[in-house]
Amino acid sequence: MRFAKLTVLALAFGATVSAAAPQKAAAPKEPPIVRVRMTTSAGVITMAIDVRHAPKTGTNFLAYVDDGRLDGTRFYRAARRKGAPNLGFVQGGIDTDARRRLEPVPLEPTSKTGLHHVDGAISMARYDSPNSGTANFSLMVGASPNMDARPGSPGYAVFGRIVGGMDVVKRILAMPTSPGGEGAMKGQMLLKSVTIIRAQRLDGTPKPTGRPKVWELFAGMK
C-alpha cells in the first residue's frame, strides 16, 4: 500500500513538473515581405524581398544580409541597353570573393514564382549553371522580359523589388564604364565601383548563419 501511494505521488509530482516546465518557443516565422535597407556610397536603396513567392532565393539573400556578408562589397556593373542607355540593370554583390560565399541556391524560375523582370525587380545573378546563384544580384531599370524563363532558357530568379532609392539605381546605371571586360560584361564594368557600405533588414528577426566571417579576419591582417 505504501509503495502504491509513493508511486501515485511520484506520478503526480512528475506531471506537475512537466506542466510547469517552460515550453520551447516556436521560431518566429519570416514575414512574407522583408525590407532591406542598402546604404551605398551613391545613396540608399530600399528593397522588398519576396520570401513568399521566392522562398529559397529570398532566404538565401537574407542570410547574406544577416551575416553582414554584403557589407563592404560593391556594385561593379552597369548594363545599359543599346539604343536606350537609360534602361538596363546594375549588378552588385560579393563578385568573386569566395570568403563571403555560402552554398549556391537552386534556381527558382519566374515560370514557378510568378515574379517577373519588371521595372524595379531584383534578380539573382548566376553563372552558366542555373543553380549557381550566390549573392550577386541585379536591379532592373525598365522591364527585361528576356531574362524571364522561356522555352530553351531557364532565365534568372526574381526575388523582390526596389521600393525606395530608384534614383540611386539610375544614377549608378549612368556612371562611366570601361570599354574592356569579357563576354556579356564587355564594356559594362564600372570605372569606379559603388561601395555597399551596409545592408540591413528592416522586418522580421535576423537569422545569422553563425559561420566564421573569414573576410573580416583577412581585413584585420592588413
Query: pLDDT-derived band of residue 29, with 50, 70 and 90 as boundaries?
Result: confident
75 C-beta neighbours (distance < 10 Å), count: 28
Query: Hey, which residues does 200 pair with through a beta bridge?
Result: 37
Q: Which three cell numbers stand for residue 206?
A: 535576423
212 C-beta neighbours (distance < 10 Å), count: 9
Per-residue model confidence (pLDDT) at position 13: 41
- Asked if the 30-204 domain carries CATH number 2.60.120.330, the reply is no
Q: Which three cell numbers stand for residue 202?
A: 528592416
Rg of the chain on CA atoms, in Å: 23
Antiparallel, parallel or unpaired: β 137-141 and 189-201: unpaired
Alpha carbons 158 and 125: distance in angstroms, whole number: 10
State the pTM of this model. 0.85
Query: Is 80 exceeded by the pLDDT of residue 25?
Result: no
pLDDT in tens, 131-183: 999 999 999 999 999 999 999 999 999 999 999 999 999 999 999 999 877 78
pLDDT in tens, 121-132: 999 999 999 999
Q: Which three cell numbers stand for residue 29?
A: 516565422
Going by C-beta distance under 8 Å and a sequence separation of 6 or more, which residues neighbour residue 58?
Answer: 34, 49, 50, 51, 159, 160
Q: Which three cell numbers stand for residue 39?
A: 546604404
Per-residue model confidence (pLDDT) at position 124: 98
